[in-house]
Amino acid sequence: MAGDPQYGRRDFLKDSVVSVAKAAREFAIHKDAPREQPAAPLRMDWLRPPGAADEATFLERCTRCGDCIKVCPPGAIVSDLSNGTPVIFANQVACELCEDFPCIAACATDALLPVADSLDVRMGMATVSHRVCTAGQGCHACVSKCPVEALSMDFHALRLVVEQARCVGCGMCEQICKTVNDRIAVKVIPSRNLSAGSISY
Protein backbone atom coordinates (compact mmCIF):
# COMPACT_ATOMS: atom_id res chain seq x y z
CA MET A 1 0.00 0.00 0.00
CA ALA A 2 1.05 3.61 -0.59
CA GLY A 3 0.90 4.32 3.16
CA ASP A 4 3.39 1.51 3.92
CA PRO A 5 6.91 2.94 4.46
CA GLN A 6 8.27 -0.12 2.65
CA TYR A 7 6.20 0.72 -0.42
CA GLY A 8 8.68 2.33 -2.80
CA ARG A 9 9.14 3.26 -6.42
CA ARG A 10 9.88 -0.36 -7.43
CA ASP A 11 6.63 -1.57 -5.86
CA PHE A 12 4.75 1.29 -7.47
CA LEU A 13 6.15 0.46 -10.92
CA LYS A 14 5.30 -3.22 -10.42
CA ASP A 15 1.71 -2.34 -9.53
CA SER A 16 1.62 0.08 -12.44
CA VAL A 17 2.52 -2.63 -14.96
CA VAL A 18 -0.37 -4.74 -13.68
CA SER A 19 -2.70 -1.74 -13.87
CA VAL A 20 -1.69 -0.83 -17.42
CA ALA A 21 -2.08 -4.44 -18.57
CA LYS A 22 -5.59 -4.50 -17.12
CA ALA A 23 -6.41 -1.17 -18.77
CA ALA A 24 -5.11 -2.33 -22.14
CA ARG A 25 -7.19 -5.51 -21.96
CA GLU A 26 -10.37 -3.64 -21.00
CA PHE A 27 -9.76 -0.92 -23.58
CA ALA A 28 -9.28 -3.52 -26.33
CA ILE A 29 -12.54 -5.19 -25.37
CA HIS A 30 -14.54 -1.97 -25.46
CA LYS A 31 -12.73 -0.16 -28.29
CA ASP A 32 -14.36 -2.11 -31.11
CA ALA A 33 -17.73 -2.55 -29.45
CA PRO A 34 -20.67 -1.00 -31.32
CA ARG A 35 -21.20 2.64 -30.40
CA GLU A 36 -24.66 3.35 -29.07
CA GLN A 37 -25.99 6.82 -28.43
CA PRO A 38 -27.38 7.00 -24.91
CA ALA A 39 -31.13 7.26 -24.55
CA ALA A 40 -30.57 10.40 -22.49
CA PRO A 41 -27.50 12.38 -21.44
CA LEU A 42 -25.84 10.77 -18.43
CA ARG A 43 -24.13 13.98 -17.37
CA MET A 44 -24.41 17.70 -17.97
CA ASP A 45 -20.73 18.52 -18.47
CA TRP A 46 -20.59 17.47 -22.11
CA LEU A 47 -17.83 18.68 -24.38
CA ARG A 48 -18.07 20.34 -27.77
CA PRO A 49 -16.13 18.71 -30.63
CA PRO A 50 -12.56 19.87 -31.30
CA GLY A 51 -12.24 23.29 -32.89
CA ALA A 52 -15.59 24.52 -31.54
CA ALA A 53 -16.00 28.29 -31.51
CA ASP A 54 -16.95 29.95 -28.23
CA GLU A 55 -20.35 28.70 -27.06
CA ALA A 56 -22.41 31.70 -28.15
CA THR A 57 -20.82 31.76 -31.61
CA PHE A 58 -21.07 27.99 -31.91
CA LEU A 59 -24.81 28.04 -31.25
CA GLU A 60 -25.29 30.79 -33.85
CA ARG A 61 -23.33 28.94 -36.53
CA CYS A 62 -24.25 25.29 -35.91
CA THR A 63 -27.09 24.17 -38.19
CA ARG A 64 -27.58 20.80 -36.42
CA CYS A 65 -26.83 19.10 -39.75
CA GLY A 66 -25.05 16.20 -38.07
CA ASP A 67 -22.20 16.09 -40.61
CA CYS A 68 -19.53 16.10 -37.88
CA ILE A 69 -21.34 13.26 -36.13
CA LYS A 70 -21.40 11.12 -39.27
CA VAL A 71 -17.67 11.37 -39.93
CA CYS A 72 -16.35 10.92 -36.37
CA PRO A 73 -14.25 7.69 -36.57
CA PRO A 74 -14.65 6.58 -32.92
CA GLY A 75 -18.28 7.68 -32.72
CA ALA A 76 -17.47 10.11 -29.93
CA ILE A 77 -19.64 12.93 -31.28
CA VAL A 78 -23.35 12.45 -30.68
CA SER A 79 -26.45 14.65 -30.91
CA ASP A 80 -27.60 16.43 -27.78
CA LEU A 81 -31.17 15.22 -27.43
CA SER A 82 -32.27 18.57 -26.02
CA ASN A 83 -31.29 20.73 -29.01
CA GLY A 84 -29.62 18.58 -31.68
CA THR A 85 -26.17 20.13 -31.37
CA PRO A 86 -23.06 17.92 -31.44
CA VAL A 87 -21.60 16.96 -28.08
CA ILE A 88 -19.13 14.48 -26.61
CA PHE A 89 -19.66 12.55 -23.38
CA ALA A 90 -16.06 11.74 -22.48
CA ASN A 91 -16.96 9.14 -19.87
CA GLN A 92 -18.57 7.12 -22.67
CA VAL A 93 -16.44 7.70 -25.79
CA ALA A 94 -13.59 10.20 -25.74
CA CYS A 95 -12.27 12.28 -28.64
CA GLU A 96 -9.31 10.52 -30.24
CA LEU A 97 -7.85 13.72 -31.73
CA CYS A 98 -7.82 12.31 -35.27
CA GLU A 99 -4.83 13.51 -37.27
CA ASP A 100 -6.91 15.12 -40.03
CA PHE A 101 -9.88 16.16 -37.82
CA PRO A 102 -12.64 14.96 -40.17
CA CYS A 103 -15.28 16.55 -37.92
CA ILE A 104 -13.81 20.01 -38.50
CA ALA A 105 -13.42 19.38 -42.24
CA ALA A 106 -17.09 18.36 -42.43
CA CYS A 107 -18.34 21.58 -40.81
CA ALA A 108 -19.37 24.06 -43.52
CA THR A 109 -20.43 26.90 -41.22
CA ASP A 110 -17.28 27.47 -39.14
CA ALA A 111 -18.97 26.33 -35.97
CA LEU A 112 -15.89 24.09 -35.79
CA LEU A 113 -12.75 26.06 -36.64
CA PRO A 114 -9.50 24.65 -38.10
CA VAL A 115 -6.71 23.82 -35.65
CA ALA A 116 -3.00 23.62 -36.37
CA ASP A 117 -2.55 20.31 -34.55
CA SER A 118 -3.79 18.34 -31.56
CA LEU A 119 -2.14 20.68 -29.06
CA ASP A 120 -4.15 23.57 -30.52
CA VAL A 121 -7.43 21.94 -29.42
CA ARG A 122 -9.10 23.36 -26.31
CA MET A 123 -12.15 21.28 -25.40
CA GLY A 124 -11.66 21.52 -21.65
CA MET A 125 -9.28 20.72 -18.81
CA ALA A 126 -8.70 17.47 -16.94
CA THR A 127 -9.09 17.65 -13.17
CA VAL A 128 -8.23 14.98 -10.61
CA SER A 129 -10.07 14.01 -7.45
CA HIS A 130 -7.11 12.76 -5.40
CA ARG A 131 -9.55 11.50 -2.79
CA VAL A 132 -10.73 8.71 -5.10
CA CYS A 133 -7.74 8.44 -7.48
CA THR A 134 -5.85 5.14 -7.13
CA ALA A 135 -2.57 6.43 -8.57
CA GLY A 136 -1.01 6.02 -5.14
CA GLN A 137 -1.76 2.30 -5.31
CA GLY A 138 -0.06 1.84 -8.67
CA CYS A 139 -2.68 2.83 -11.25
CA HIS A 140 -1.50 5.17 -13.97
CA ALA A 141 -3.53 3.86 -16.87
CA CYS A 142 -4.62 7.38 -17.81
CA VAL A 143 -0.98 8.54 -17.96
CA SER A 144 -0.07 5.88 -20.50
CA LYS A 145 -3.12 6.64 -22.67
CA CYS A 146 -2.96 10.45 -22.71
CA PRO A 147 -2.41 11.39 -26.40
CA VAL A 148 -0.75 14.73 -25.59
CA GLU A 149 1.31 13.63 -22.57
CA ALA A 150 -0.44 16.07 -20.27
CA LEU A 151 -0.56 13.61 -17.35
CA SER A 152 2.34 12.44 -15.21
CA MET A 153 3.04 10.88 -11.82
CA ASP A 154 4.55 12.80 -8.92
CA PHE A 155 6.46 9.91 -7.36
CA HIS A 156 7.31 11.91 -4.26
CA ALA A 157 3.66 12.64 -3.45
CA LEU A 158 2.37 9.49 -5.21
CA ARG A 159 -0.31 11.43 -7.00
CA LEU A 160 -1.42 12.29 -10.53
CA VAL A 161 -0.43 15.65 -12.00
CA VAL A 162 -2.14 17.49 -14.90
CA GLU A 163 0.04 19.81 -16.98
CA GLN A 164 -2.59 22.40 -17.81
CA ALA A 165 -0.57 23.98 -20.64
CA ARG A 166 -0.66 20.67 -22.55
CA CYS A 167 -4.12 19.35 -21.65
CA VAL A 168 -6.59 19.73 -24.54
CA GLY A 169 -9.62 18.22 -22.81
CA CYS A 170 -10.09 15.25 -25.15
CA GLY A 171 -11.44 13.13 -22.29
CA MET A 172 -9.35 10.02 -22.94
CA CYS A 173 -8.21 10.03 -19.31
CA GLU A 174 -11.81 10.09 -18.12
CA GLN A 175 -12.86 7.23 -20.40
CA ILE A 176 -9.89 5.11 -19.29
CA CYS A 177 -10.47 5.89 -15.62
CA LYS A 178 -14.07 4.73 -15.91
CA THR A 179 -12.88 1.52 -17.61
CA VAL A 180 -10.41 0.48 -14.89
CA ASN A 181 -11.85 1.94 -11.68
CA ASP A 182 -15.10 1.78 -9.75
CA ARG A 183 -15.21 5.56 -9.40
CA ILE A 184 -14.07 8.12 -11.96
CA ALA A 185 -11.21 10.13 -10.45
CA VAL A 186 -10.33 12.14 -13.57
CA LYS A 187 -12.93 14.35 -15.20
CA VAL A 188 -12.76 17.01 -17.89
CA ILE A 189 -14.21 20.42 -17.14
CA PRO A 190 -15.64 21.83 -20.41
CA SER A 191 -14.08 24.99 -21.84
CA ARG A 192 -17.31 26.95 -21.44
CA ASN A 193 -17.14 26.33 -17.69
CA LEU A 194 -13.45 27.15 -17.52
CA SER A 195 -14.16 30.58 -18.92
CA ALA A 196 -16.55 31.08 -16.03
CA GLY A 197 -13.72 30.31 -13.64
CA SER A 198 -14.95 26.85 -12.57
CA ILE A 199 -12.18 24.25 -12.48
CA SER A 200 -13.02 22.56 -9.20
CA TYR A 201 -13.79 18.87 -8.90
The pLDDT tens digits for 63-100 are: 999 999 999 999 999 999 999 999 999 999 999 999 99
For the chain, domains (ranges, CATH) are: 9-32+120-192 (3.30.70.20), 55-117 (3.30.70)
Residue 64 three-state SS? coil
Q: What is the pLDDT along the chain (201 residues), one digit of tens a residue?
A: 444 555 555 665 656 655 655 655 655 555 555 454 443 334 458 999 999 999 999 999 999 999 999 999 999 999 999 999 999 999 999 999 999 999 999 999 999 999 999 999 999 999 999 999 999 899 989 999 999 999 999 999 999 999 999 999 999 999 999 999 889 999 999 999 886 544 545
**CA distances from residue 165 to 21, 89, 169 in whole angstroms, order as listed:** 29, 22, 11
Q: pTM for the whole thing?
A: 0.75
